[in-house]
Amino acid sequence: MAQWDLANADAVLVMGSNMAENHPIAFRFVMQAKEKGAVVMHADPRFTRTSALSDIHAPIRAGSDIAFLGGIIRYILENDLVFKEYAVRYANLATIIDENFIEAARNEGLFSGWNEEKHSYDFDTWQYQGMVIPSALAEHYLDTAESYSEMTKRLHEGPPPDDPTLQHPNCVYQILKRQYADYTPEMVERVTGCPKETFLKVAEALARNSGPDRTAAICYAVGWTHHTTGVQMIRAAAIVQTLLGNIGRPGGGILALRGHTSIQGSTDIPTLYNMLPGYLPQPNAFKPQARHFDQFLDDETIPTGWWHNFPKYITSLLRAWYGDSVGPENEWGYQWLPKIVGDHSQLAMTLAIDDGLIKGMFLLGQNPVIGGSNSKLVERGLGRLDWLVVRDTDEIESANFWRKGHLVQSAERRPEDIGTEIFLMPGELAGEKAGTFTNTHRLIQWHDRVVEGPGDSRSELWFVYHLAKRLKALYANSELERDRPIRNLTLDYRAEGPREEPRADDVLREINGYTWPEKKQVASFKELKADGSTACGCWLYSGVYPEDDDNRARSRIPDGPDGPGTHLGWAFAWPANRRTLYNRASADPDGKPWSERKRLVWWDEAEGKWQSPDEIDFEPEKPPHYRPDWDKKPEGMDALGGDEPFIMMPDGRSQIFSPSGLKDGPLPTHYEPVQSPVRNPLHAQQDSPVAKKWAREDNPLHALGDPRFPHVLTTYRLTEHHSGGTPTRGVPHTAELQPEGFAEIPPELARQIGVRNLDWIVLSTPRGEVETRALVTERLKPFEIDGRHIFQVGMPWHFGWEGYATGDIANVLTAVVGDANSSMHENKALTCDVRAGRIRRSRHRR
């Protein structure tokens, strides 16, 4: 949802986020909603400014979010508060699941299909009865039979089996009731520590403010993603919002509050290992179907729904990258795309560097010594590289670890022992270079080049372009097949000025796509073809540059005070400038708005098309009563009815129950964090059975109940600092506002270890120790869990040894453990010890 649409919500739940402090400008819209009468709620381990501005603060133990959200799901079901017409028609609530499916709640915390030998799930029992549902493209799983794509072909044959009366014992509704039966308010209190009265207030307010006339929104940030169960926390929120009918409607939805200016853009156009631009899959060597392009297309193309267009997007991408050197005769250059052979995410990378597999590395505006988990392990690895290129605006910790790092300070190594050849190169910032950022609600916004960066600083565009030019020259005479990709890679961007800066608008034109070979801009992804007659760098961004001189990302026309408030003239939102995704769901199955108050999209019978102040996220002229003709085995969008708004899904419906794409279950279930002081009160399975643990000597984890690490530790951010701290710790204004690291501890714990506010304390985990100042505060309430006092400790993770605002690195404490789906770490919930005093350190060598 657009951030400004939060102002239209009747209730806002902020959870897994300290929105007032970390996204203060977006939080204005929550405050605007509150001024109009909305209920604002904050569920969080810490009492923060977000809590202070909320009507309700629900304190929860870090990592217990699924128990809380599962409790809300149960509350909605038990009190018959489901928005039934929405959830039955627009989601898979009535769909019948395989008869052998068993919920985790009935099976000691494991879903059916657990394969102890492989230590992973088989997904057969998670499917719709009699048919296989593939997931969105990039998440296709590996372990399926050869006939996977054959099985999904059955999607052509008819709609999924369902029971709209919701009585069938294996319909999703009944499964949900069984899975969450134990998540009573009493159990929520027992697991999360939140008083059940407070929990009930939140559940009641969310439900009361949902329905045809009202909508509720949920905002989250890395407080949800940084767990081994992070994906399922977000899934739980999606289930709540789908049951309540809050997706695709004004003031409704789930807003992910992301942390970096173009973190959304760098996910859409991914500098990520497992995807190609626009959420297309990076080929995987262990998928037999990925060996050849035709099989790859056959396997990855979902027969029904929008993703049926996949071949157009991947072929246009290959044309954009390799130009005329590819065609049907050489599989469009498909074999030139490197195949992945496992998890190549940052966590796995940390270990691969330390193990010597990775020998050369580029660090482009990232500071892993501060932001990476198990910081000493990161540092040790950087010292084992042959070469390292660091591009940033300042001398960051990841560049000078060899003279100021932990290993040198503790005299474990001398600089002379570290063989890494290091280049530290000055980078440019927005304002010194032109280009686009994509914000947290998919808005692609251009920034101009107003001044030049100082001295030898250059943009990353300049760096990669000129590096590629040099490499092309070095490989120019190679006859080797393996060097053909770099030799043939297109690099047709105009370079201007004495610095020969490549033009970002030329790159954006390629991202948008054009006809080949004429290079006439395409107006939208609907014009892309699978025959090589179009080239497109990222199909999802098509429309951002629809004419040669029309850069929509630079458009700056907001709606006036009396305008519709969709601001279609302000920049460009992917896809196709749609501001609210799945907005067909804002109208009822017949095409009428659910209510006048929540009107966004409606069917205009006279004109024969959908109308809206937004761009329609649906086929513009498909009538609400259209039904697929199953006798004709319909493909793509023809297989979705006029009342099925979730067009990226194979059945056009929101997945309350998710049959494919997740490695840890089709529904969320509460698992404890990998490092928790508490035994799982809900079932025997303690933590996620598929959590990535990478337990090894330099990444030790302790056993459950280890008395050495009795407290819960959570890491967090401050308003005045940014992530790894590079752009704030060295800037006088921000450094002065938050000049030094600290950790928050509750007064009860402070008394127990005998420290007062601002005394030195040492935090320790099996990975390491840090010293910092104690901020003794009641903001972190201790919890009573199963008769035990559990203290929570919080530490901001921005600090390091560079800049004006310094402090020990919180990530020295954290572990390389990750979510099975996303490989995201769990630095929001782990365990630690706290003692009074300081760490004895040898003096700095230099």
For residues 2-21, which are near other proteins according to CB under 8 A? 3-4
Q: Which is nearer to other proteins, 108 or 448 (CB)?
A: 448
Q: Which residues contact 485 (CB under 8 A, 6 or more apart)?
A: 322, 333, 336
CB of 441 to other proteins, least distance (A): 8
Pair 399, 392: CB distance under 8 Å = yes
Binders of other proteins among 661-720, rule CB under 8 A?
Answer: 719-720
Encoded tokens for 623: 């009538």
Binding mask 476-495 for other proteins (x = CB under 8 A): -----xx--xx--x------
Query: Contact with other proteins (CB under 8 A): which of 440, 577, 655, 699?
Result: 440
Identity at 438, one-letter amino acid code: T
727 binds other proteins (CB under 8 A): yes
Among 89, 447, 598, 798, binds other proteins (CB under 8 A): 447
Q: Identify which of residues 125 and 267 has a Cβ nearer to other proteins in the complex.
A: 267
DSSP H or E stretch at residue 206: helix 196-208
Q: Give the separation between CA 139 and CA 235, rounded to whole angstroms.
A: 15
Q: How many residues bind other proteins (CB under 8 A)?
A: 163
Question: Which residue type, as a one-letter code, is found at position 835?
Answer: R
Joined together, the tokens standing for residue 658 give 């998710």
Interface mask (CB under 8 A) for other proteins, residues 20-49, using x and -?
--xxxxx-x---------------------
Binding pattern for the stretch 551-570 against other proteins, x by CB under 8 A and - elsewhere: ---x-x-xx-----x-x--x
User: Of the candidates 45, 435, 725, 796, which one interacts with other proteins according to CB under 8 A?
Assistant: 435
Nearer to other proteins, 181 or 389 (CB): 389
C-beta of 158 vs 426, nearer to other proteins: 426
Q: Among residues 96 and 388, whose Cβ is nearest to other proteins?
A: 388
Joined together, the tokens standing for residue 632 give 């004709």
Helices (H) and strands (E) in the chain, counts: 25, 29
| Selected binder of other proteins within 50, 228, 229, 439 (CB under 8 A) | 439
CB of 31 to other proteins, least distance (A): 12
Site for other proteins in 338-377 (CB under 8 A): 338-341, 344-347, 349, 352-353, 357-366, 368, 371-373
Q: Does 298 bind other proteins (CB under 8 A)?
A: no
Q: How far is CA 241 from CA 170, 210, 445, 821, in A?
A: 22, 9, 29, 22
Instruction: Please report how close the Cβ of residue 291 comes to other proteins at its closest, in angstroms.
Output: 6
Does position 458 interact with other proteins (CB under 8 A)? The reply is yes
How far is the C-alpha of 184 from the C-alpha of 186, rounded, in Å? 5
Determine the Cα–Cα distance for residues 533 and 527; give it in Å rounded to an integer: 10
Tokens of 70: 């599962």
Binding of other proteins at residue 760 (CB under 8 A)? no
Rank residues 24 and 164 by Cβ distance to other proteins and give the closer one: 24
Collect all residues with Cβ–Cβ distance below 8 Å to 385 and sequence separation of at least 6: 353, 358, 359, 360, 361, 420
Sole binder of other proteins in the list 423, 500, 592, 627 (CB under 8 A): 423
3-state SS assignment for residue 582: coil
Rule CB under 8 A: say whether 387 interacts with other proteins: yes
- Name the residue nearer to other proteins (CB basis): 250 or 277: 277
Structure tokens at 240: 């709540």
Three-class secondary structure of residue 380 per DSSP: helix
Q: For residues 38 and 218, is the Cβ–Cβ distance under 8 A?
A: no
Question: Is residue 657 a contact residue for other proteins (CB under 8 A)?
Answer: no
User: Given the complex with other proteins, which of 456 and 518 has the nearer CB atom?
Assistant: 456
Counting contacts by CB under 8 A, is residue 445 touching other proteins? Answer: yes
From 99, 186, 213, 421, residue interacting with other proteins (rule: CB under 8 A):
421
Pick from 135, 290, 68: which is nearest to 663 by CA?
A: 135
**What does the block give as tokens for 522?**
């395409």
DSSP of 488-511:
H------EETTTTEEPHHHHHHHH
Residue 631 phi/psi, 5° resolution? -65, -25
Residue closer to other proteins by CB (options 348, 530) is 348
798 touches other proteins (CB under 8 A): no
Q: Which of residues 505-544 bind other proteins (CB under 8 A)?
A: 507-508, 510-511, 537-538, 541
Shortest distance in whole angstroms from residue 400 CB to other proteins:
8
- Figure out which of the listed residues 72, 94, 97, 504 binds other proteins, where binding follows CB under 8 A: 504
Position 728 contacts other proteins (CB under 8 A): yes
118 CB-side CA count, 13 A: 10
Q: Which two tokens stand for residue 822?
A: 């996303």
Q: How far is CA 286 from CA 143, 289, 342, 343, in A?
A: 9, 9, 9, 12
When binding is defined by CB under 8 A, the residue of 613, 623, 730, 747 that contacts other proteins is: 730
Residue 337 within binding range of other proteins, rule CB under 8 A: yes
Q: Nearer to other proteins by C-beta: 128 or 446?
A: 446
- The answer to whether the bond into 575 is cis (omega within 30° of 0) is yes
For the CA atoms of 144, 149, 153, 155, the dihedral, rounded to the nearest 10 degrees, stands at: 50
Q: Is 380 in the site for other proteins (CB under 8 A)?
A: no
β-pair type (830-836, 711-716)? antiparallel
Using the rule CB under 8 A, is 264 a contact of other proteins?
yes
